[in-house]
Chains A and B, each alone.
Chain A
């Protein structure tokens, strides 16, 4: 037809564009690399740790970092380096799973509320209000206390607290997108309500959700560590980072390296996730294209 305008029909899928935009933000790329490394470590942990994370070497209790024990040993003579690496599995998976559950449930609730409006919206929002009325950490503590410590229980306790935030965010996006003409167009070609929500609305509402989820994983990891620290969540000897902090609390004066390394692991993970989340937010916002 006309060839004057150079229309870029190159493989310009949305994903490529986002990745390109993201790659311009150096800090975000650093964050992404760190997370990727941590994921690899977490997956390969059983195969790469120099010592089994439960092995106790009573001769090396409180050993300071050395070539033999890179991060030193804890009060039971266990190699901290191995425990930190293995602990990545717990901390990261708890963070990711709790946010994943919260996102799925939250988005479903938010989508239904946002699309149908009226009394359905009202009912669901009031229900979320009740959940949110209890201060966040307290809610998590109460549920964790009811369910008891443990991997699955802690994930459930954490997920519960994140559901309202996700639901409201998706609902807000829904309300905004719902008024667009392409939704009217979908109606006019006989799309079912289900198809409109799933095919058209949700994909267009996902950008802030993705950013929120990424930052949420960071919050969840910190929360998991916090719950373990106070005796809920995961308990020692399981090498979850928070549990490790909890166990090392009493030795902070004489052997600070017991606290330092798990603490550092948490800090780096959270920082990396936040950097990545910030970068994603900028990359997904079409107005910031510069």
Chain B
């Protein structure tokens, strides 16, 4: 079975006055139908840029993106329009991702209007279905975003993303801006929709507990590179890369009787502009050696578990 999304050696660089910013640097993965790939990392790791590049909000600098087996890396305008209907995105900030001057009904029907494939009546029916699907009361149709709370706004964002019946949805930190009790509601909704519609997700987040709950596989990113990639449970059971370990141990745990021994990472994150070759984590890694300044190769350390660290065999 073709994976829904396959990304090979994807690169996205931005040209800035201070030099070339390596936002996404040689990232590869596949996502099977109905599965969720969690992408975790901290600021500047490139996870949001990655999502946006896959769905063509940015144009890839190099590499290949395949959607259901077809190469969608560089597309003509017409082909792009078709491809976009299969790949959608849910944004992080419920406060800036909805047009403040449009009613939520208008926001939900817009993708349908723009695609021009449905009649007015059909659009209305579809919009009703979408609102019901994501759990927004019909009497809120004419409400404006500023009248709704974050959770409801996010539901509108989800309805908009699903309007064109996409196969693949990039969820860019969709619950990070929400309160804990609302987060749980929205996460449940996303899972429900995935099961009922067979959606494939790429779930970008910095919150490890959320990513654990929702992902089948996880990719850990640091400064544009993938440092570790494996099945979700495996990552938490057996993290290998020093950064992954530090990341997991930095999370403040609610277990007050057995707090994990925390590893504090010293130093600051280096700049993604004109980075030197080699491991970008080396400046903060307590195991760094000379060999770390060479370009790192991603190795399959155990079945399905990939790590980019030249010292992994010795440390493991």
> Which residues of A approach B to under 8 Å, CB–CB?
1, 5, 7-9, 12, 14, 180-182, 184-192, 195, 200, 203-204, 286
**Secondary structure type dominating chain B contacts:** loop
Q: Which residues of B contact A12 (CB under 8 A)?
A: 143-144, 147
Q: Which of A9, A187, A191, A192 contacts B147 (CB 8 A)?
A: A9
Q: Mark each residue of chain B from 105 to 141: 1 if its CB lies under 8 Å from any CB of chain A, else 0.
A: 0000011001100000000000000000001110110
Query: A190 to B81, Cβ gap below 8 A?
Result: yes
CB distance from A201 to the nearest CB of B (A): 9
Q: How far is the CA of A200 from the CA of B97 in the complex (A)?
A: 12
- 14 extra interface residue pairs, beta carbon distance < 8 Å, beyond A8-B147, A189-B163: A1-B135, A9-B142, A9-B143, A14-B101, A181-B92, A181-B96, A182-B100, A184-B52, A184-B91, A185-B157, A188-B89, A189-B84, A189-B110, A190-B84
Q: Which residues of A contact B160 (CB under 8 A)?
A: 185, 189
Q: How far is the CA of A52 from the CA of B255 in the complex (A)?
A: 91
Query: B91 to A189, Cβ gap below 8 A?
Result: no
Chain B interface category by residue count: 35 or more
Q: How far is the CA of A187 from the CA of B58 in the complex (A)?
A: 11
Q: How far is the CA of A273 from the CA of B163 in the complex (A)?
A: 46
Task: Assess whether B98 is interfacial by the CB under 8 Å rule.
Answer: yes
Contact A182-B147, Cβ < 8 Å, known A188-B57, A190-B114: no
Q: Which residues of A contact B93 (CB under 8 A)?
A: 181
Q: Which of B55, B91, B99, B136 contacts A204 (CB 8 A)?
A: B99
**Secondary structure type dominating chain A contacts:** helix
Q: Which of B101, B146, B148 contacts A203 (CB 8 A)?
A: B101
Contact A7-B114, Cβ < 8 Å, known A189-B164, A200-B99: no
Closest to A203 in B: B101
Q: How far is the CA of A34 from the CA of B99 in the complex (A)?
A: 35
Q: Which residues of A contact B98 (CB under 8 A)?
A: 182, 185
Q: Which residues of A contact B136 (CB under 8 A)?
A: 1
Residue of B81, B93, B114, B164 with highest tally of chain A CB at under 10 A:
B114
Residue of A185, A203, A286 with highest tally of chain B CB at under 10 A:
A185
CB distance from B302 to the nearest CB of A (A): 37
Q: Which of B110, B139, B149, B157 contacts A5 (CB 8 A)?
A: B149
Task: Assess whether B228 is interfacial by the CB under 8 Å rule.
Answer: no
Query: A195 to B114, Cβ gap below 8 A?
Result: yes
Query: A182 to B99, Cβ gap below 8 A?
Result: yes
Contact A185-B147, Cβ < 8 Å, known A1-B135, A191-B114: no
Q: How far is the CA of A192 from the CA of B89 in the complex (A)?
A: 18
Query: A191 to B110, Cβ gap below 8 A?
Result: yes
Closest to A202 in B: B101
CB distance from A133 to the nearest CB of B (A): 28
Closest to B131 in A: A1
